[in-house]
Structure 1
Amino acid sequence: MIIPKTKEEIELMRESALVVSRTLGMLAKEVKPGITTNKLNKMAEEYIRAQDALPGFLGLYDCPSTLLTSVNEAVVHGLPTDVPLREGDIVAIDCGSIKNGFYGDHAYTFAVGEISPELEKLLQITKESLYIGIREFKAGNRVGDVGYAIQNYCEAEGYGVVRELVGHGLGRKMHEDPEMPNYGRRGRGKKFIEGMTVAIEPMINLGTHRVKQLNDGWTIVTLDGKASAHFEHDVALVNGKPELLSTFDYIYEALGIKSDEEKEFRAD
């Protein structure tokens, strides 16, 4: 059952999402060759708690960490380790928070130092597909419209769109209805309603769409060992249009990037 939120609840959810946004912005300065994802995880937990919030992932479904850090061929749910990041890696950092009784949950894939043009394009297309999907989250549309838009854009570039893992509704629980696949058919699935809040999160592979789970019970990797990218935003349906609750602006500020990609999705 879809649980629409009041305007007041949406504002509380925005606060929760921005805890994650600021945390990812803080981490953006630290992602460089030589740092370990365990170190990033420790920094994130301390930073989230300093914002009067709780880590959203830690303990959820017995998750042992604050961050999920997926390096190179890891798609999502990678557990932090003591293995240093290397020049040329990419690392998707997925982070959650709980504040005001609501969850925030979003992700960004970072380049570690200089990366190959092939990986640069993968990150670019995956992030672009996120906004292409968000544009379809509007009054009158359905779940399949978002999935179709993401799938069509990414497959046209020759990339694999992961099937086994999907976006989701978000609120007082980390995972609410509806599921938000990154593939689908136009006009199919549950209809969007005012006040809906969802996490839209393309997971796009350089090669095959097929994946497998490692023996740690968490990490999902591509079946062919090629790289994968993951970007995620929290979005509310307000006045029939998608409105971002999360932002990558803190990341861009840390990295010295100028971008107006979120402008159309911001509150008036």
Structure 2
Amino acid sequence: MIEILNSTLLDRAKDTGALVADILQTLRSRTAVGTNLLDIDRWTQAMILEAEAQSCYVDYAPSFGRGPFGHYVCTAVNDAVLHGRPYDYALADGDLLTLDLAVSRGGVAADAAISFLVGDARPAESVAMIETTERALAAGIAAAGPGARIGDLSHAIGTVLDAAGYAINTEFGGHGIGSTMHQDPHVANSGRPGRGYRLRPGLLLALEPWIMADTAQLVTDPDGWTLRSATGCRTAHSEHTIAITEDGAEILTLPSR
């Protein structure tokens, strides 16, 4: 299903997007060496409920997962990259943490992810990976606008990732979003320009370049959810929800403050 939102729903999407971004920034500011992933999940739950919003994750049970996700935020550490299920782990100095959050409010969902280093350590490879996903995300957004095709966005993202020397997995990528978290069209992180669905004003997309340092192969944890690099290498992931407008694309998941 592909949804095209009217102006009323787009206003709600902006509200939801700002909420997602604000929660992520609050979580980042609270996270330090020794923070437990389960505490991050509890903080997220409290902020969602306080905002009178709904989690897109707690009852999420797609075909690729094992039962409902059961948590409020994805917490992926180091070699984990997608669908990181929070567990009893205290973060260490230099850990690379990705927080991925999707929330619905007013009948419209928004989805975003940030990767950052915990504590004072700044491993050069990890910094480079985070910066690469952020640059690829910016390139994908710059390619978006009315009349552009999905392949144009995929090509822009993939060009940045490939130039930085990373293998690209196209099994999981960006997606349409609206009244539900995951919708068509799929936005792979590599593709051919001029191909695929033509973008229209009112379409929402969640773009999410992610990489692994030395592989494109994923393995699934025994929890049935957490996806890790097959080699144990580090990973990074950046994501924004955008709205296609008459003039281009607007990022919805920017902090309100």
Q: What's the TM-score once normalised by structure 1's chain length?
A: 0.90
Alignment of structure 1 residues 79-158 onto 2, 5 Å? 79-113=85-119, 114-158=121-165
Give the aligned residue type for 2:169: V
Aligned equivalent of 2:200: 193
> Match for residue 16 of structure 1?
16
Q: Indicate the residue corresponding to 1:226 in structure 2.
A: 233
- The answer for the alignment partner of 1:161 in structure 2 is 168
2:39 maps to which residue? 39
Letter of the 1:84 partner, please give it.
A
Return 5+ residue gaps in structure 2 as ranges.
Answer: 62-67
* Structure 2 residue aligned with 1:203: 210
Distance in 2 of aligned mates of 1:98 and 1:209: 31
Q: What amino acid does structure 2 have at the position aligned with 1:72?
A: N
Q: Distance in 1 between matches of 2:77 and 2:17?
A: 23
Does the 8 A contact of 1:31 with 1:110 survive in 2?
no
In structure 1, how many angstroms separate the alpha carbons of the residues matched to 2:220 and 2:35?
Answer: 25
- Runs of 4+ displaced beyond 3 Å: none
Are the equivalent residues in 1 in contact too, given 2:146–2:245 (CA < 8 A)? no
CA RMSD of aligned residues (A): 1.2
Percent identical pairs in the alignment equals 30
Q: Give the drift of 1:249.
A: 6.8
Deviations 1:174-220, CA, capped at 9 Å, x for gaps: 11111111111111111111211010011111111111212211010
The residue aligned with 1:70 is 76
What's the counterpart of residue 53 of structure 2?
A: 53
* Structure 1 unaligned blocks of 5 or more: 251-268
What residue identity is the alignment partner of 2:25?
G
Q: Distance in 2 between matches of 1:78 and 1:95?
A: 11
Task: State how many pairs are aligned.
Answer: 250
Tell me by how many angstroms 1:86 deviates: 0.6
SS at 2:110 equivalent:
strand
2:181 corresponding residue in structure 1: 174
Q: Distance in 2 between matches of 1:14 and 1:63?
A: 26
Map of 1:3 onto structure 2: 3
Matched AA of 1:17: G
